[in-house]
Amino acid sequence: MKKVLFVASESVPFIKTGGLADVVGSLPKSFDKNEIDCRVIIPKYKCMDGKFLENLEYVTHFYMDLNWRSQYVGVFRTVCDGVTVYMIDNEYYFSGPKPYGDICYDLEKFAFFSRAALSILPVIDFRPDIIHCHDWQTGLIPVYLKDCFAQSDFYRGIKSIMTIHNLKFQGIWDVNTMKDIAGLADSYFTIDKLKHGKDGNYLKGGIVYADYVTTVSNTYAEEIKTPFFGEGLDGLMRARSNCLRGIVNGIDYDEYNPETDKYIEKNYNIDTFRKEKVKNKRALQQELGLEVNDRKFMIGLVSRLTDQKGLDLINCVMDEICAEDVQFVVLGTGEERYENMFRHYAWKYGGRVSANIYYSEAMSHKIYASCDAFLMPSLFEPCGLSQLMSLRYGTVPIVRETGGLKDTVEPYNEYDSTGTGFSFANYNAHEMLGIINYAKSVYYNKKREWNKIIDRGMAKDFSWKTSAKEYENLYSQILGW
């Protein structure tokens, strides 16, 4: 049996700020338990929901050197969905109101976490064949495995994988501070290792020293080899391309299931959506104060409101999008200018635009189930989960062809009646508007074709089982057995 250890800064259901938590919480429980013993290590944040903290079992504690400091390491454990989860306790580092804060403080916090995650392994009596590291917060683990832990027989031969969820976040700070925090020799801070321009870079260290590098979609794996998407690391990604691979994330098919979803007005499935799905639309129109009208083409958007998500494109042509026959529903928070932009359009087009500037799990499910189309015009999107959820709920995605959006949404072809959504290639507002209008014309004029697009989308399988199988194959490939 293969032993795999996931190390990450967050995981559902314990703590979540983004898609990383979904991956770390969902993937380990999807592995074949007869083939893989997968365990997880995350920090024990004080800001976690109290119900999780109450159910932790104390394992042990010890003191660990972090360069010139001696730090307390507490170890707790719990079992969630059949997966053993260890939490590392240290109130100095993990007692803040949020999992992340000031970057300099975070760099020390996750240097401690990375070293502690390796240090507890003999204590918990678990020697993994592979340590699967996620994002910059765990970038030092592959480095430490080749450095201070390499002399011990216990750690020798352990392989490491570095998964990049979003290359934009790298853990960068000045070299002297990083040396002091991490306790690494000067020889590690050269341009072919952790040095990045004048600074040090955790993620770069992880990419250089890991045995294998993965990211969250095939297209993103190719994109990050180019200067535009590479965030200054495109040369390194090209150098490591022989062991770089994209594996698309999945979604939890139990949680996102229109047949059993408790948040939505009317449950439905691939056989009944033609009659039942519209009942969710009516209920949402009523709840949000929009005109209750089955004939309106309802577009949804559930997102962080940031530059990455292509919202400047929407701003360019929002007046044209908000034509008489369209309703637009937004849910999310983010940059103030985008929050205010959507508030402005909701004021200007009352009855047609609903700006919900907050986040609610229940409302997100209602939007996925109620809308006719779902808009994701991202500038870049490593994987993206919203388009997978909209496919699952029979809401047709309209996306830009980048990263995971390109890999998961097949553009509609009217000539051979294929495709699961609509897409546009260039980062251009009028190209986006053109494809929205094209989707709208299919919706109004070719209803049978529109329903076939929904059929094909709902029939797709983007559950974690598919991703888990690919990771299982990768682990076998790396271990050679």
Average pLDDT over residues 363-374: 98
CA dist., res. 202 & res. 233, Å (int): 12
Q: Record the pTM.
A: 0.93
Mean pLDDT of 384-409: 97
The domain total for the chain is: 2
Lookup: tokens for 209: 């020293």
pLDDT tens string 141-181: 999 999 989 999 999 999 999 999 999 999 999 999 999 99
Say yes or no to pLDDT of 243 above 90.
yes
C-alpha to C-alpha distance for 468 and 253, rounded to whole angstroms: 14
Interval 453-477: pLDDT, tens: 999 999 999 999 999 999 999 999 9
Sign of the alpha-carbon torsion through 437, 438, 441, 443: negative
Q: If you average pLDDT over residues 2-12, what whole number do you get?
A: 97
Nearest to 420 by CA among 440, 386, 392: 392
pLDDT value, residue 324: 86
Residue 214 has pLDDT above 90, yes or no: yes
**Same domain for 81 and 214:** yes
What phi and psi, each to the nearest 5 degrees, are found at residue 304? -70, 135
Q: Does residue 296 carry a pLDDT above 90?
A: yes
pLDDT given for residue 10 in this prediction: 97
Per DSSP bridges, beta strands 57-66 and 36-43 are: unpaired
Q: What's the pLDDT score for residue 113? A: 98
32 shares a domain with 47: yes
Judge whether 265 lies within some domain.
no
pLDDT at 104: 86
The mean per-residue pLDDT over the stretch 389-414 comes to: 98
Instruction: Tell me the sheet residues that pair with 477.
Output: none
State the average pLDDT for the chain. 96
Domain with 304, as residue range(s), is 273-460
CB 380 within 8 A of CB 404: no
CATH of the domain at 56: 3.40.50.2000
25 and 130 in a common domain? yes
Whether residue 320 is found in the same domain as residue 240? no
**Residue type, position 293, single letter:** N
What is the percent of the chain with per-residue pLDDT over 70, rounded to a whole number?
100
pLDDT at residue 68 in the model: 80
The C-alpha atoms of residue 366 and residue 277 are separated, in whole angstroms, by 11
Q: What angle do CA 469, 471, 476 make, to 5 degrees?
A: 95
